[in-house]
Structure 1
Amino acid sequence: MPWKLTPLLLFLGWMTSVCNARTRTDLLNVCMDAKHHKAEPGPEDKLHNQCTPWKKNACCSARVSQELHKDTSSLYNFTWDHCGKMEPACQRHFIQDNCLYECSPNLGPWIQEVNQKWRKERFLNVPLCKEDCQSWWEDCRTSHTCKSNWHRGWDWTSGSNKCPNGTTCRTFEAYFPTPAALCEGLWSHSYKLSNYSRGSGRCIQMWFDPALGNPNEEVARFYASALTAEAWPQGIRPLSLCLALMLSLWLHD
């Protein structure tokens, strides 16, 4: 009888969703679903300047990497110089931050869905190595800005970001009194200040020497494995559960 098939079809649908659940490898070597990201990572021999560490395997194109180095990029029409010229040492960190965002295929464990016009995914609470955050803050202390969160609240009437009414240009240190305030608050908690150091295998480096390999690959594997372990009851893994479900279905056929 057709009505008897309904529970079976529901069961099969549930089993399929379980067997297709996100696994550890789904979190590795992936690109975000965002405005300028490639669909899949791959080699890009002509990545520009500070984006070159990712040339062997990148989520960004050569054109995107070039735009990231401009004072006002055509990618988002965002200018660093909204409160006067940003110091070169400070701007260097922002370019590296953008290269990591656009180019890295190693941020899968922290990718979250969002409902925004220009992207469907973002990363959240990426553990940024403490030295990277500290040096970013140190090199930007004397540059100027007018906001403590750069994700929202700008005046875009001119076509690029301007300080909104009621704000005042002050030093970065006035808006970001600590390294954590800068790294965590700047992009709505995209980063989280880590207690781990560069080379520990437990924190993401914003930049690295490509001649020594990509240290963020190991970090992504560690956190992806931890996420997978947390997602399933102790002693149960997706493959064993799927096999048990299929056996049960066969025995009751």
Structure 2
Amino acid sequence: MFSTRLLALVSLCALVSTKEHPDLLNTCFDARYHKDTPSPEEELHGQCAPWKDRSCCYYNTTKAFHDSDVWLGFTYNHCGPDHSLSETCRQWFNKDMCFYDCSPNTGPWIVDNVIRIRNERFMHVPFCASQCNAWWEACKNEFTCHDTWGKGFNYSTGINTCPNGKICRPFAEIYENDATTFCEKIWYYSWKVVPDDQPCMKIDFTGKNPNDDVTKFYAGQRSGVLG
């Protein structure tokens, strides 16, 4: 049985977009290179392969962000070649990007966010603590100069660079050696870390998409809150 604390969280996070998304269980938010509606793909690249049965992304998109050091004007390696992400850490960021581009499960958490690359985003999606911890363990020794990658970088060159006065330091310093702080702040609260015994999303899985049931639970709770 899920806790009353969790149900309160659902109520607090019932954020909505002004765009109509009639099917919260099967939807794509409005962003560059996203499909209008989820559909199967014959193949998806790299860490995105588990999403191919029903996805908001195309093969070419998944191959591009796996293979490129710069995607839509953003580079993970903003601290220079001496501090490029390790392959193990990069794989977790690729899994996170696969969720962003491919997941059909973000309906209950879509909000307006009009910027150059999208008109909507998701916020406060419940994220399994075990997956957050694994991502953190893979990346805690990497370097960055900015704790929230979703906003605040300098894009005057067309590619994100460190804000004035910010120096590159290990993730463990930037995020106070805390996995939850890292997972929640890195993309400006796209994720909300919750214990694994509560319904929560996974970005690392094989086989049937386990997030379908999670979306169904929260969509049902949201309907109860709103109606």
Q: Is the 8 A contact 2:78 2:161 kept in 1?
A: yes
Alignment partner, residue 127 of structure 2: 128
Distance 1:107 1:207 in 2: 16
Counting matched residue pairs gives 204
Task: Give the structure with the higher percent helix.
Answer: 1
Alpha carbons 1:71, 1:80 under 8 Å: kept: no
Question: CA separation in 1, counterparts of 2:103 and 2:211?
Answer: 9
C-alpha displacement of 1:29:
0.7
Structure 2 CA distance for partners of 1:71 and 1:145, relative to 1, 3 Å:
farther
Question: Equivalent of 1:208, from 205, 209, 227?
Answer: 205
Map residues 89-108 of structure 1 onto 2, 5 A cutoff. Answer: 89-108=88-107
1:26 aligns with 2:31: no
SS at match of 1:46: coil
1:55 partnered with 2:60: no
Greater length-normalized contact order (CA 8 Å, ≥ 6 residues apart): 2
Deviation at 1:114, TM superposition (A): 2.2
Equivalence for 1:240: none
Distance in 1 between residues matched to 2:117 and 2:48, nearest whole Å: 22
2:66 is equivalent to residue 69 of structure 1? yes
Runs of 4+ in 1 over 4 A off after TM superposition: none
The answer for the alignment partner of 2:6 in structure 1 is none
- Between stretches 93-102 and 80-89, larger displacement belongs to 80-89
- Which of these residues, 222, 226, 230, is aligned with residue 217 of structure 2? 222
In 1, the alpha carbon distance for the partners of 2:60 and 2:68 equals 15
Aligned-pair distance for 1:219? 0.4
Distance in 1 of aligned mates of 2:77 and 2:96: 16
Structure 2: give runs of 5+ residues left out of the alignment.
Answer: 1-19
Name the SS of the counterpart of 1:127 in structure 2: strand
* Structure number, greater radius of gyration: 1
1:35-50 equivalent positions in 2, closer than 5 A: 35-50=32-47
1:78-102 per-position Cα deviation (integer Å, ceiling 9, x unaligned): 1111112111111111100000000
For 1:154, give the aligned amino acid.
F
Q: Which amino acid aligns with 1:44?
A: E
Note the C-alpha offset of 1:124.
0.6
Equivalent residue, structure 2, for 1:187? 187
CA distance in 1, matches of 2:100, 2:27: 12
Q: 1:203 Cα deviation (Å)?
A: 0.3
Give 1:117 deviation, angstroms: 3.2
Unaligned stretches of 5+ in structure 1?
A: 1-21, 233-253
TM-score by length of 2: 0.85
Superposition deviation, residue 71 in structure 1: 4.3
Map of 1:9 onto structure 2: none
Partner in structure 2 of residue 17 of structure 1: none
- C-alpha distance in 2 between matches for 1:62 and 1:152: 27
| Separation of aligned partners in 2, 1:160 and 1:203 | 33
